[in-house]
Structure 1
Amino acid sequence: MGASTVILIAVNQADIASLNQGESLRNLLKWDFHPNVEGHPAFSHLHLRMWYLPDGLLFEDYLDRRWTEATGELVGEVIFPSRHAATSGRASLTLHPIGVPHLPQGEQGPYGGFGGQSPPPNPRLASWWKLLLERAPMHTEVEGFDLSLEVTHHGPFLNAPALFIEVGSTEATWGHEGAANLLAELIRDGLLSPNINTWSDVKKKGDQVVLVTLGGGHYAPRANALAALDNVWLGHMLASYALPFIHVEGGEPKGTWKQAINDAITSTRKAFPEGEIVVSMDKKAFKGWQRQAVREHLEVLRVPLLTTRQIKSRLEGTDE
């Protein structure tokens, strides 16, 4: 990473889960005061920058460009500590990329983002997921918390690779300090530890797979399992609701499903230069005509559609 390129950590001052993660991270490292940016507090540690925003994150578009315009520093990636809301009410710790690839092109989503224009997924997603699975059992204070990836959803829009790291899923746990401390340690080690590979460390190796998943529910069980494997890197994950099909008798299905797939793959390629993109599809989530349409479109894109068994064989160097 060049001297003028920084990693931006965007903290939401109106969100206790975001604030707690930011405060814990500031306690873990020695931060210097940075001149206010757009009138809002900021801090620096080595190539890390923490920026406190006043009210929400989902509509804070172009944060990377805005930081560069204000400071002259290029932003290589953005991390969003946040809360996670869910009707289940279950305590949870989650990670996910952002975007609304299925909405009409350029249309702003109800929770931010622009249709068909997903930011690149942060290449750290899979390594942080593995780290979360490893660390959480060592922290008794988060015993009982669900651990999960979430599919690609909501805003904001930016050009730098991004991820959200969240404490869920109601007011009862948003302020959980033990959860915030664990995620702050994960951010610290995930960004600074020399023992955790980045994509630039391994992209020349031939045994790495970059995964895009299609179909299934919001909590990405397929991605949860596959991204836990060594040498699997994670791109965008599209739930069934992000692949809208309209059946056309005797013709190609309409809807924005094709746009969503194109956006997910194009955006993932930006995040993983020289990476081998493969797709895993939840077959049970699709009707037969939908599966066939996806297969044919991926053939046009020349992106392999692999089963879990085929992915594992490829990782082992024993392609079927």
Structure 2
Amino acid sequence: MVVLVVATSSDPASIGPAAAFLAMPGWSPGPPIAEGMQSFTNGNVRLLKHERSIIAEDHLDQRWQEATGEPVSEVIFLSKHTAVSNRPALTVHPIGVPHLREDETPPQGGTPGWAAIPNPRIGPWLRLMQKIAAEQGLVPEFEITLEATHHGPVTSTPTMFVEIGSTEEYWGRQDAAQAIALVLRKGLGLEDGNDVGSWQGNGEKVLLGIGGCWNVEALHQSFL
């Protein structure tokens, strides 16, 4: 099983972190996938670069397996983030448009009523991102946030987006790109062999919250 990290050259907040990630040790050229796509390998991590919108390439996990024979365990997309506040931010979020009816057209990819399986790294990586951003001097200038799901592309495996926001001024920031690259390297275990946030489902208890909860800590303790 391999982890697929996806970047696009059409987005500075995507290709910047990808370039910083590829500048770190251990990479070699990967197999050819399709015209306009490049791939690179490092351990069980595969970085795929393409030229289209990050939300336009559906089923990249399935297409990777069909082209290489390697099943994909999870997908991580690198992208820009936009917000009305225009505040600089580093974000993570799941994907999908489950709020749309079948007769509605998703404005940013995906399929109406669909949501990807959330990548279990989302919570641990949010905390890792906070730590690395602080160490790199990006906090408090950059806000570290968890977004709601709101777009595609369509995938079949656990998926997350890792983003830089929120305006063109920040999308190309090299220090932000370096911070994201460090999150990827540390989080995927390429630094010391110890990854962050992977979950194999080996009998661990899972806490599922639906609706509001006024005291999460009390609920957690009662669950234990």
* Residues 1:34 and 2:49 aligned together: no
Give secondary structure in 2 for the equivalent of 1:8: strand
Work out the number of aligned pairs and report it.
220
1:175 is matched with: 172
Give secondary structure in 2 for the equivalent of 1:279: coil
Match for 2:82 among 85, 110, 124? Answer: 85
Q: How does 1:124-135 map to 2 (within 5 A)?
A: 124-135=121-132
d(CA) in 1 for partners of 2:195 and 2:117? 24
d(CA) in 2 for partners of 1:43 and 1:194? 21
Shift in Å, 1:35: 2.4
Give secondary structure in 1 for the equivalent of 2:186: helix
* Residues 1:100 and 2:97 aligned together: yes
Comparing 159-168 with 140-149, greater Cα deviation is found at 140-149
Residues 107, 32 of structure 1: alpha-carbon distance in 2 compared, 3 angstrom cutoff: farther
Residue identity over aligned pairs, in percent, reads 35
2:214 is matched with: 308
RMSD: 1.9
* Residues 1:196 and 2:101 aligned together: no
Residues 125, 106 of structure 1: alpha-carbon distance in 2 compared, 3 angstrom cutoff: farther
1:253 is matched with: none
Native 8 Å contact 1:80 1:164 kept in 2: yes
Shift in Å, 1:8: 0.5
Shift in Å, 1:142: 5.0
1:68 is matched with: 65
Shift in Å, 1:151: 0.3
Comparing 112-121 with 27-36, greater Cα deviation is found at 27-36
d(CA) in 1 for partners of 2:82 and 2:223? 42
Instruction: Find the structure with the greater CA-based Rg.
Output: 1
Shift in Å, 1:203: 4.8
Amino acid aligned to 1:204: G
Give secondary structure in 1 for the equivalent of 2:153: coil
1:205 is matched with: 204
2:147 is matched with: 150
Native 8 Å contact 1:280 1:308 kept in 2: no
* Residues 1:10 and 2:26 aligned together: no
Shift in Å, 1:141: 4.2
Aligned structure 1 segments of 4 or more residues deviating by more than 6 angstroms: none
TM-score normalised by structure 2 residue count:
0.91
Unaligned stretches of 5+ in structure 1? Answer: 210-276, 282-306
* Residues 1:278 and 2:184 aligned together: no
Give secondary structure in 2 for the equivalent of 1:158: coil
d(CA) in 2 for partners of 1:7 and 1:55? 21
* Residues 1:23 and 2:19 aligned together: yes
Richer in helix (by share): 1
